[in-house]
Structure 1
Amino acid sequence: MAERKAIFITGGGSGIGRAIAQRFAAEGWFVGLGDISDSGMAETAAMLGEGGSFSVNFDVRDRAAWDDALEAFSQAAGGRIDVLANNAGIPIGGSLSENSVDEITRCLDINLKGVLFGAQAVLPHLKKTAPGSCLLNTASAAGIYGSAGGSVYCATKFGVRGITESLDGEWASFGIKVRSLMPSFIDTPLLDMVPNAGTNEHIRVRVKQAGLEITPVEEVAEAAWRAVHEDKLHWPVGKTAKRIAFAARWMPGRVRKEARDRGAIQLLGE
């Protein structure tokens, strides 16, 4: 088995996935990029240098495609996968009454089913490199406390949190670590998307109007590196995420009041 460790990252063509790829490549890891954007993966691969990565175009909603993608990457990596970064995801916002059936279904399928399918598919590979191999799921601060205007997105990220906790117990006997990243508002292209089809106002605009900080994506990548190597289950990233985690644990009444009084993004800013 090759000595060079290997990480496979979904959503590796941009944003958090790209930053994680750069962080692990800098430590000498072989990086697998999974995405539906060939151009995005090509840009990331160019940043990692020749021979530093392997790319595969696939949809995380396709269970069979997961097996093919991971097997191809394992062969390229010399027969090993040490970490799967289950990172692919999409945003959705607005009141539940504004969200279309297609928007809800797409978000659930990508953000939740995609994580489950990835975990299921990667288990045989992580068993081979255990102990010390890791499933790293990208959740969100939205998985710490639900916010008005984000019911569908929060549901998926609470789900990712639950999956992480369940598999942490389920896979402990295999020597496989399971971790989650819980970032707040991160400076990635996702902030330049609209929360739903009923608005043309970008998420970034709403965040700035609320006076919230936008955390550099490199902080998420650093948290990813530490999560793989340290014994901590959930990793809030950014001041907002850490504030919510603290308040939800120690001041749940206050968090609920602010959620009801201020709604949506305002809750996250105080």
Structure 2
Amino acid sequence: MRGNRRRASNGRMSAPQSVSSSLDLTGRRGVITGGGRGIGRAIALAFAERGADLLLVGRDADTLAKAAADLRRVGGTARELALDLTAPDAHHRVVEVALDGGGIDLLVNNAGNVRAGRLTAATEDDVRAMLELNLVAPVLLTQAALPALLASPNGGILLGISSGIGLLPLPFYAVYAATKTGLSGFHHALRRELTGSGVHVATLYPGATDTDMMASSQAGESLGFGRRPVEDVVADLMTGLERGEHEINTALPTRRGLQDLHRSDPLAVDAQLAPNLPEMEAAVQGHRSI
């Protein structure tokens, strides 16, 4: 494992990327949560094009069925499991169904939700919904799937979908930021715990992405929320995985600059964001996918 600094498209040096040996992504068998739409669906399609056999997990059966049909059209094999991942024992059910289908050498913890706005305006139900789906569910599902990932003769892949907000916590996203930085910390610790095990632990940090989840947000490029096409984000993800990267950041260069500043001088970020706080609050207060 080695640190590898790359020059970003804006000429700045990007954060060090922890890289191991390249990964073979063909013919993977496993689970993608939230696989019916958005980034999860796009990741599923990318693996299906490489011959994957996938179990798509989500709440909406119709959405999952449509996504599974798309996966089959591009050469993959797909099954669906309509399930609330926050329900008791849901993680065990997912692993049971996946193992009945042949095995798990890929787990993508993608399912998540968001409710933006001031913390004082958040309901307890909203807070618990984000904590349970964004953080508790992936931890429990990873715990349940880990024996199968460790036993895989091809080496397991554990991929967690964090957020650019996991690298740069933003105002009006306090609870969401807590869940996404929590997922990142979970992956860092688990990667170190699994050193030498053959399981590759990776985290994706997408910036604002043009998906249904972002449709209710009015924040755009002027506030640092310039959106990338989901296909471009996932293409970068797959390239990073194939290179053996552990930390894959797909944010736009403008956002990366603020991420760099947050690492070196977080109070300077406070000062930079302060003049735009009223505009930002107005733009994101309706951002909700719960």
Q: 1:197: which partner in 2?
A: none
* Distance (Å, rounded) in 2 between the aligned partners of 1:253 and 1:221: 32
Contact 2:32-2:107 at 8 Å conserved across structures? yes
Q: Secondary structure at the match of 2:228?
A: coil
Q: 1:113 is matched with which residue: 136, 157, 163?
A: 136
TM-score scaled to structure 2, two decimals? 0.80
1:75 equivalent to 2:75? Answer no
Give the conservation status (yes or no) of the 8 Å contact 1:5–1:80: no
Q: Determine the C-alpha separation between the residues in 2 that align with 1:49 and 1:57.
A: 18
Alignment of 1:62 onto 2:83: no
- Please report how far the alpha carbon of residue 265 of structure 1 lies from its aligned counterpart in structure 2 after TM superposition: 7.8
1:19 to 36, 42, 55: 42
1:233 correspondence with 2:256: no
State which of 109, 113, 117 in structure 2 corresponds to 1:90. Answer: 113
Please give the alpha-carbon distance, in whole angstroms, between the structure 2 residues aligned to 1:68 and 1:264: 44
Q: Secondary structure at 1:172's aligned position in 2? A: coil
Shift of 1:264: 8.1
Instruction: Point out where structure 1 has 5 or more consecutive residues left out of the alignment.
Output: 193-201
Query: Within 1, Cα distance between the matches of 2:279 and 2:176?
Result: 13
Equivalent position of 1:254 in the other structure:
268
Residue 75 of structure 1, CA deviation? 2.4
> What is the RMSD computed on CA atoms of the aligned residues?
2.3
- Structure with the bigger percentage of helix: 1
The answer to whether 1:217 aligns with 2:230 is yes
Which of 164, 170, 195 in structure 2 is aligned with 1:147?
170
Structure 1 residue 223, shift from structure 2 partner? 3.3
Residue deviations 1:52-111, cap 9 Å, x none? Answer: 2011112222352222222212222xx321110000000111010111111111111111
Q: How many corresponding residue pairs?
A: 253
Match of 1:102 in 2: 125
- The one-letter code of the counterpart of 2:220 is V
Q: Which residue of 1 aligns with 2:58?
A: 35
CA distance in 1, matches of 2:255, 2:107: 23
1:7 and 1:115 mapped to 2: Cα distance? 14
Q: TM-score, normalised by structure 1?
A: 0.85
Residue 114 of structure 1: how far off its partner (Å): 1.1
Query: CA 1:264–1:152 in structure 2 vs 1: closer, same or farther (change >3 Å)?
Result: farther
TM-superposed CA distance for 1:246, in Å, is: 2.8
Q: Tell me the alpha carbon deviations over residues 97-146 of structure 1, each in whole angstroms, 9 at most, x when there is no partner.
A: 11111111111111110111121111011011156311100000111121
> How far 1:26 sits from its partner (Å)?
0.6
For 2:112, what is the secondary structure of its paired residue? Answer: coil
In the alignment, the residues of structure 1 paired with residue 91 and residue 40 of structure 2 have an alpha-carbon distance, to the nearest angstrom, of 17
Deviation at 1:227, TM superposition (A): 4.2
Deviations 1:12-35 (A, max 9, x none): 010001000110101111122000
